[in-house]
Structure 1
Amino acid sequence: MIHQLLRLAKENNLDGINLDFENVYEEDGEWFTQFVRELTPRAHNQGLVISVDITFISNSNQWSEFYERAELAEAADFLIVMAYDQHWATSPQAGSVASLQWVEQNLQELLEVVPNEHLLLGIPLYTRLWEENNGEVSSTALTMEEAERWVKEKGLTLELAGSTGQEYVQATIDGTTYKMWLENETSLGKRIGLMEKYKLAGIASWSIYFADQEAWEFINEQLYKK
């Protein structure tokens, strides 16, 4: 696998490789760490940077506990914390994908085991449109452009939603209540602010297809402002 990754990186003139291993049994976590230990020096010989995606710390063994975060921070160049989903696609309760308060609390805990200079903050570039009807809750993932279009089509006004650090809309239409916590310049600016506050190595994002051109320009301005 290492050989194939390095070959593909060379053929495609890549700058590095990002490893996103999820749903791993807790007892196999040490073997994932060893894989990274063996990949990184060979990648460095090829001029590549190695980053590893991790989750916030939780008691879910296949989602969180298999990551040996301190050891992975030593083995790779960077760790990227996937700072989402606080409320996931099938969550029984509507809510933000990643409220600022939730992100910061979990980030503080993570920084007790991962050095800030090795950590990148993963930020979501999508939101969920929640529907509540007769006690049933469902959601649809939207890109930034799709979310903005939906708000305009419904003629709604954005409001700042307290500790989430995000703009929020809610409307009841034909008996169905819609809720959405938006990802836009407001939330992006505050997420980058967390990166700066804790002196992290940078940010990462999921996914490139979810952001519009204005968002990329804003991110660039915030990261490289004088």
Structure 2
Amino acid sequence: MASAFMFGTLTPVSAASALPFNDISGSFAKSEIVELVKEGVVDGTGNGKFEPKKNVTRAEFVTMTDRLLKLSSVQADMASFSDVTPKSWYYGWVEAAVQLGIAEGKSKTQFQPAANITRQEAAVLIVRALKVDPGTSSAGQLPYTDSKQIASWASSYVMAAHTLGLMSGAKGQFRPSDPMTREETAAVLDRVLQDKVWAKAIHQTTDLGLQLGWQNGLTTAQFKEKIKKTNVNTLIPRWFFLENAAVPVSNYADATLSTWAKQNNKKVWAMLGNHSDSVLTHQILSDESKRKAVIQKLAGYVKTYGLSGINVDFENVSPEDRLPLTAFISELGTSLRSAGAVLSIDVSPDLGTDWTEAFDYEALGRYADYVVLMGYDEHWDGDPVAGSVSSLPWAEAALNRMLASVPASKSILALPYYTRDWTLQSGGAVSEELSLIQQGQRIKSVAYNRVWDETSGQYVVSYNRQGVQHRIWVEDGRSLALKTMMGAKRNIAGYAYWYIGAETDDIWSSLKNAMRYASY
């Protein structure tokens, strides 16, 4: 119960009191505690007390570290540990830290949130949270008389914490297995804020860059309501499609969305699609007059609906249309820029197949303002081999391939808000597409086994139904955060999400945390 109070509302103190708590005047960390209260990192245990000598649990230390880094609590759709339940006060804080690689469990299934955190565990967690490479120091190199008592997995972190001035021993000892007290924790966390570089990073506002969200299967009213819960600042309604010669572009625009977007400080990049029709696409792209007719229509729509841009999403384009597609993008880009709008084009990962042969990355990157890499369909509908729709190594390789030709400042990584439930059969796997909402519902409805796969950067869920084995490579806050941080390391322009409404609400906190943490 005391732990619950610790992260509740500050206990009121009298106006005459100079301190936020009535039991810290004799604490060696008095000033640090006061500073951390102002920062919103710590608070009291109730009745005007801080209890500086009280031991800190693993859940409490993680929570304070998250708050120090200005991260948000994440109510993950699926719990990472069996002993950290969604109803616990620390659930969201543990999940936030686990998703970013700051904290780990005591085992694959247990976090032991109520266990006291030891000094060596605290050293590991704070050094990892600050993204410091601990090196490979051994116990024999540590300046403590009890260095042999420090676990091998913690020795390099203890050395790093010592070198950074974050943690020191007493009377020549580190006391690795002793629990951290609340005043010791306050002292360590405040030392981070006393460093000008760390403090500046922590207090800066995170630039989320471009945040694109496609509309799919939602009415305008539903789309607007969903957008309110997201980080999205650029809307992509699927309004325009290539059609026949008589009507070069079909128009499904809703002017009320443009008005709403402007009122809510958001941009609209309306999508131009091709119905995945390679024949129609060839007929239009290969004919200069037809290309011109499409471009004129789009330029008019930009003015009519007050659009900030057009997003071209052509799929199943024939390899023979590589040059005509490039010409179309060049001509459309020139027209849109003269109208004060930008042009983005969606491209598939270059896997050396006919599916992507039509995309000249270098040329498209030159003529378009942005190139959106659709970082999904590693394994697709109809693929006889089961696997992830977007494993971390695959997405990373695909983005690296594009960045070799397209500037990072023009590159956007699109992430999947869907996955596949694979039925494993002797003749080959078959799959069912699931939104992230459906994924959570499916997993919760069955008896499953789940393991974290370091290679793919995803949980893999296995279950049996009617004697048939199923497998799901899970897309969730943790897997998507890893891909987001991977993109952030490359300084890309932003992210896109296919599609709005398919995600669980927790995803947005996860991604915002990932972008903030990546900025440090």
Q: Cα gap change, 1:6/1:211 in structure 2, threshold over 3 Å: closer, same or farther?
A: farther
Q: Which residue pairs with 1:55 in the alignment?
A: 348
Q: Cα gap change, 1:211/1:131 in structure 2, threshold over 3 Å: closer, same or farther?
A: same
Shift of residue 83, structure 1, vs aligned partner? 1.4
Matches of 2:312 and 2:438 in 1, distance apart?
29
Q: Which residue pairs with 1:28 in the alignment?
A: 321
Q: 1:152 aligns with which of 423, 429, 444?
A: 444
Shift of residue 64, structure 1, vs aligned partner? 0.9
Do residues 201 (structure 1) and 493 (structure 2) align? yes
Do residues 12 (structure 1) and 305 (structure 2) align? yes
Q: Which moved more, 1:90-99 or 1:149-158?
A: 149-158
Shift of residue 134, structure 1, vs aligned partner? 4.0
Matches of 2:334 and 2:509 in 1, distance apart?
34
Q: Cα gap change, 1:44/1:220 in structure 2, threshold over 3 Å: closer, same or farther?
A: farther
Q: Which amino acid aligns with 1:107?
A: L
TM-score w.r.t. length of structure 1: 0.92
Shift of residue 73, structure 1, vs aligned partner? 0.5
Do residues 191 (structure 1) and 455 (structure 2) align? no
Q: Which residue pairs with 2:370 in the alignment?
A: 78
1:161-210 Cα distance to aligned partner (Å, 9 max, x none)? 22110111001222211100111101110111111111111111211232
Matches of 1:12 and 1:215 in 2, distance apart?
31
Matches of 1:198 and 1:208 in 2, distance apart?
25
Matches of 2:513 and 2:426 in 1, distance apart?
44
1:41-73 Cα distance to aligned partner (Å, 9 max, x none)? 221222212111112222222x11111111110
Q: Which runs of 5+ in 2 are unaligned?
A: 1-293
Shift of residue 10, structure 1, vs aligned partner? 3.1
Do residues 210 (structure 1) and 512 (structure 2) align? no
Shift of residue 221, structure 1, vs aligned partner? 4.5
Identity of aligned residues (%): 31
Q: Secondary structure at the match of 2:430?
A: strand
Matches of 2:360 and 2:413 in 1, distance apart?
18
Q: Which residue pairs with 2:105 in the alignment?
A: none
Q: Which residue pairs with 2:511 in the alignment?
A: 219
1:132-176 Cα distance to aligned partner (Å, 9 max, x none)? 234342111111111011111114353212211011100122221
Q: Secondary structure at the match of 1:22?
A: coil
Q: Which residue pairs with 1:116 in the alignment?
A: 408
Shift of residue 110, structure 1, vs aligned partner? 2.4
Matches of 1:12 and 1:159 in 2, distance apart?
48
Matches of 2:306 and 2:458 in 1, distance apart?
38
Do residues 41 (structure 1) and 362 (structure 2) align? no
Matches of 1:130 and 1:60 in 2, distance apart?
24
Q: Which moved more, 1:141-150 or 1:2-11?
A: 2-11
Are the aligned partners of 1:16 and 1:49 in contact in 2 as well (CA < 8 Å)? Answer: yes
Shift of residue 128, structure 1, vs aligned partner? 0.3
Q: Which runs of 5+ in 1 are unaligned?
A: none
1:92-118 Cα distance to aligned partner (Å, 9 max, x none)? 111000100111122222222222221
Greater RCO structure (CA 8 Å; 6+ sep): 1
Are the aligned partners of 1:21 and 1:53 in contact in 2 as well (CA < 8 Å)? Answer: yes
Matches of 2:376 and 2:315 in 1, distance apart?
14
Shift of residue 90, structure 1, vs aligned partner? 0.7
Q: Look at both structures and tell me which one has the larger radius of gyration over its CA atoms.
A: 2
Matches of 1:88 and 1:71 in 2, distance apart?
27
Do residues 137 (structure 1) and 429 (structure 2) align? yes
Q: Secondary structure at the match of 1:89?
A: coil
Shift of residue 124, structure 1, vs aligned partner? 1.0
Are the aligned partners of 1:133 and 1:175 in contact in 2 as well (CA < 8 Å)? Answer: no
Shift of residue 212, structure 1, vs aligned partner? 2.6
Are the aligned partners of 1:131 and 1:176 in contact in 2 as well (CA < 8 Å)? Answer: yes
Matches of 2:309 and 2:498 in 1, distance apart?
17
Matches of 1:106 and 1:224 in 2, distance apart?
24
Q: Which moved more, 1:75-84 or 1:9-18?
A: 9-18
